[in-house]
Amino acid sequence: MNRNMIRQAQRQAQKLQDDMQKVQEELESLTVEGSAGGGVVKIVMSGKQTVESVTIEPEAAEELGMLQDLIAAAVNDAFNKTQEIASQKMNSVTGGLNIPGLT
């Protein structure tokens, strides 16, 4: 390869790295809501996949086993949403290339 091609490849790699950093920053500021039981249990999760809040309608507290299942389902729903959004954003940057270590 000649020097111009190497420089161009380096610029493209740097742009890709910069774009991925921007997406990562966007994801960190993102929040999603997961829910279960028709909204009886709601979980707000950050893009860092940290649960920020839990809202439980009073009627859900009557049955402990059901409440535990609903909380787990709502957390999983929120987690899946963060994964889906991260994957979409990274695919927009990488053009659909499967790069190990990225979402």
Given a cut of 60, whether residue 102 has pLDDT beyond it is no
Distance CA 100, CA 85 (A): 18
- The pLDDT assigned to 13 comes to 83
Pick 78 or 96 by higher pLDDT: 78
In our burial notation (b when 16+ CB lie closer than 10 A, e otherwise), range 3-25 reads: eeeeeeeeeeeeeeeeebeebbe
Mean of all residue pLDDT scores within the chain: 87
pLDDT tens per residue across span 6-36: 888 888 888 888 888 888 888 888 999 999 9
- pLDDT number for residue 48: 86
User: How large is the average pLDDT for residues 46-62?
Assistant: 90
pTM: 0.70
Tell me what pLDDT residue 101 has: 56
CB-neighbour burial class of residue 31 (10 A; exposed 0-12, middle 13-18, buried 19+): middle
Q: What domains sit in the chain, N to C, each tagged with a CATH number?
A: 3-94 (3.30.1310.10)
Q: Which residue has the tokens 């994964």?
A: 83
